[in-house]
Amino acid sequence: MATMRVAQVSRPNGPFELVERPIPEPGAGSVRVKVEACGICHSDSVTKDGLFPGIPYPRVPGHEVAGTIDAVGPGVPGWEPGQRVGVGWNGGYCGYCGYCRRGAFFACERGQTTGVTYDGGYGEYMIAPASAVALMPAELRPVEAAPLLCAGLTTYNALRNSGARPGDLVAVLGLGGLGHLGVQYAAKMGFHTVGIARGKDKEPLARQLGASVYIDSQAQDPSAELLKLGGASVILATVTSGEAMSAVQGGLAVNGTMLVVGAAESMQVSPIALLTGCRSVKGWYSGTSIDSQDTLAFSARTGVRSMNEIFPLERVSEAYDRMMSGMARFRVVLSIGR
């Protein structure tokens, strides 16, 4: 029987184990993807550390998967072997629950999560429901596409649904894994783009990514600086510090929205600022497979790419630790395949 190599975790907080397994066959409604690259994301700690209840182990993490369909199960119209595809965090939806019927596929009651409720992309092959699959354009190499399926998707989809229009002042708080993509998307979407981060040394990077204004939140009051520019229509908060979020929300324009995609524990909001200026604070989930497909197409067309550190599958532990250390510039990607 043909086998494949995967990196699995056998128990919460257990180490990665490189094991050989039989290559699985796709069931009804599913496709098999020959994986070429898989990004390592902070959310993979959900599987690595057992942060969600009821995760079946052993489990293969990985939800930034780029590869090629090599087998298709019964009842999968529209997908065929040879298509280049990606699979993100949203691991598919049922299509018939109340949320799905109202178009809120991301909130599906029977929704699956790639690398959590089924095996993900830290391996040579994986099975994915057809509803989780996005087409990957020919211009993108798998290692380029992989991080766009989570960090890229999250920032792109949040910004395009933010209500901001071309020319509006849009600030991106944080210049890390999410933020360095958020600044690029904001600039390519035609927003007057402001990068906000800690320290003068980040300014050249912010400008290189497309920010026309940079605010050093250590040396300047970011709210006051944004108000000097007329106030931000949208602040995309990509950081995980509630304190940093609280410090910028005073810079929202009238009708402005603070769009939260960074998983901070809590933040302070001024109700007076909200009600006097009709301002809002809103969260954004990442997106479903069609949003991933749009993200990849937009990125291929406009040249948006993440900065990546690339590791082979055998060095998965080192690669994972590198990502968790927060020192990576900016995304960590496994290159897979012999």
Pairing state of beta strands 16-22 and 169-173?
unpaired
- Cα 129–Cα 130–Cα 134 angle in degrees, nearest 5: 115
Site for Zn ion in 33-92 (CB under 5 A): 41, 43
Least distance (Å) between residue 297 CB and Zn ion: 20
Least distance (Å) between residue 46 CB and Zn ion: 9
Please report whether residue 153 would count as binding Zn ion according to CB under 5 A.
no
| Encoded tokens for 10 | 């056998």
Least distance (Å) between residue 292 CB and Zn ion: 12
Please report whether residue 93 would count as binding Zn ion according to CB under 5 A.
yes
Task: Give the type of residue at 292.
Answer: S
Site for Zn ion in 131-150 (CB under 5 A): 150
Least distance (Å) between residue 172 CB and Zn ion: 18
In angstroms, the CA 51 to CA 66 distance is 25
Please report whether residue 264 would count as binding Zn ion according to CB under 5 A.
no
Exactly one of 18, 19, 94, 104 binds Zn ion (CB under 5 A); that residue is: 94
User: Could you give the 3-state DSSP secondary structure of residue 278?
Assistant: coil
Nearest to 13 by CA among 262, 320, 240: 320
For Zn ion, how many residues bind (rule: CB under 5 A)?
Answer: 8
Please report whether residue 229 would count as binding Zn ion according to CB under 5 A.
no
Least distance (Å) between residue 101 CB and Zn ion: 8
- Kindly report whether the peptide bond that precedes residue 330 is cis, defined as omega within 30 degrees of 0: yes
Least distance (Å) between residue 13 CB and Zn ion: 19
Can you name the residues that pair with 236 across neighbouring β-strands?
A: 172, 259
User: Could you give the 3-state DSSP secondary structure of residue 149?
Assistant: helix
Please report whether residue 158 would count as binding Zn ion according to CB under 5 A.
no
Exactly one of 97, 104, 229, 310 binds Zn ion (CB under 5 A); that residue is: 97
Pairing state of beta strands 3-9 and 16-22?
antiparallel
Stretch that binds Zn ion, among 94-102, 160-168, 169-177, 216-224 (CB under 5 A): 94-102
In angstroms, the CA 123 to CA 65 distance is 10
Do 91 and 111 meet the contact criterion of CB atoms below 8 Å apart?
A: yes
Exactly one of 37, 72, 108, 140 binds Zn ion (CB under 5 A); that residue is: 108
Exactly one of 33, 100, 164, 259 binds Zn ion (CB under 5 A); that residue is: 100
| Encoded tokens for 31 | 């496709």
* Contact residues for Zn ion, defined by CB under 5 A: 41, 43, 93-94, 97, 100, 108, 150
